[in-house]
Amino acid sequence: MMRRVLYALTPIVALAVWLYGPRVLATLAVSLVTGFLVEYRFEKIKGGKVSEAVFVTGTLFALSMPPAVPLWIVAIGIAFAVFMAKEVYGGFGRNVFNPAIAGRLFVYIAFAGTLGTKFFQPGGFGSAAGSLFGRPDAVSAVTPLAMMRGGVDVPMLGLLLGNRAGSIGESSVVLIAAAAIYLVATKTAQWRLILSTLLGGAAMAAALFFAGFAKALPPESLLAGSFLFVAVFMATDPVSAPKKPAAQWAYGLSIGAVIIVIRTFSLFPEGTSFALLLGNTFASLYDRIAADAARKKAARSTATAQVSAAPTPEAPTRPDSAADKEAAK
């Protein structure tokens, strides 16, 4: 399963290298190697083995970083992700929070001033491919989310093809959508989680737009930033997401809605990290509520079936004549 996620991420990584240059590979290498070493160290103490999931975590974390992120921040962030959001809980399969998004939120809070200046506009397909460090003359480009908050129209073609400033993995909506189709078709990702996240975000974006609070149209809100990337690759994490179908709908709807609320009203232009971690927090509660509701429904159905199957007692007939009355006596 984890290998299929890596397969789905490969075209996104390739396009990121094409847009931002070979420095993407350096970011990815630091994230993968550091994450592997941290997990290896703690699994060795416990007598366990390193799981393939650490490579998915390392790739997702690297793709969630700005193109010009300092490599030492990458190392700190992925170490935090693997240790504090995974190994502390017992390792793979026991973590409450998605490790990649936890590491991302940690570095964006701890190093907000530094990371905020590490975005740059790709200069067209392949124009950055010859530079190890990308295009330093274009650092501090305005991201689509910042443009939306300022009421500036965002070019939809740039959002679709990835030729716009943003995190490494936000590159192409087309490739992320293709990855979603592949993951759902191979039963690697649960379609309810993706669809419910999109519906929750679209509904909240429409409500806030028509209420006059948001300046961006719902399609722009869903395509800008890391919304789609998080909905496809992180909200579908089988460990930290709910297991019951009804719980998955509630989980995705709440994540999508909270993302838009944070983007609209908070100081943070991107709300995906906060929203997903809040969703992770309530995932087990959603499952418990869904399981309790299913048990109550099953109990009611069983009781109804038993009542329907019970024999109906025959009512005594009323004697009509004196002879019948005598016979009845």
Helix (H, G, I), strand (E, B) or coil at 83: helix
Tens-digit pLDDT profile for residues 31-70: 999 999 999 999 998 888 899 999 999 999 999 999 999 9
Is 316 a member of any domain?
Answer: no
pLDDT of residue 301: 77
Class of residue 104 by CB neighbours under 10 A (exposed 0-12, middle 13-18, buried 19+): buried
**Distance, CA of 142 to CA of 202 (rounded, Å):** 24
Which of these ranges, 114-118, 243-247, 310-314, has the smallest mean pLDDT?
A: 310-314
Record the pTM. Answer: 0.86
* pLDDT mean over 238-258: 96
Over the chain, what is the mean pLDDT? 86
Is 309 a member of any domain?
Answer: no
CA atoms within 13 A on the CB side of 285: 7
Tens-digit pLDDT profile for residues 279-303: 999 999 999 999 999 898 888 877 7
Is 242 a member of any domain?
Answer: yes
pLDDT of residue 216: 74
Is 320 a member of any domain?
Answer: no
Q: Is the pLDDT of residue 325 over 60?
A: no
Looking at residue 223, which CATH number applies to its domain? 1.10.3430
Q: How far is CA 25 from CA 20, 59, 83, 114, 300, in A?
A: 10, 10, 23, 20, 57
Which of these ranges, 68-77, 132-141, 167-176, has the smallest mean pLDDT?
A: 132-141
Which of these ranges, 52-66, 73-87, 210-224, has the smallest mean pLDDT?
A: 210-224
> What type of residue sits at position 296?
K
- Percent of the chain residues topping a pLDDT of 70: 83
The distance in angstroms from the start CA to the end CA of the chain is 80
Q: Which of 83, 95, 96, 105 is nearest to 37 (CA)?
A: 83
Residue-range definition of the domain harbouring residue 86: 2-291
Question: How many structural domains is the chain composed of?
Answer: 1
pLDDT of residue 219: 85
Q: Most distant CA pair in the chain: distance in Å?
A: 115
> What type of residue sits at position 13?
V
Is 212 a member of any domain?
Answer: yes
**Distance, CA of 197 to CA of 257 (rounded, Å):** 8
Is 265 a member of any domain?
Answer: yes
Is 303 a member of any domain?
Answer: no
Is 48 a member of any domain?
Answer: yes
What are the DSSP calls for 88-132, one per residue? GGTSTTT-SS-HHHHHHHHHHHHTHHHHTT--B---STTTTTT-T
Q: Give 133's pLDDT tier (boundaries 50, 70, 90).
A: low
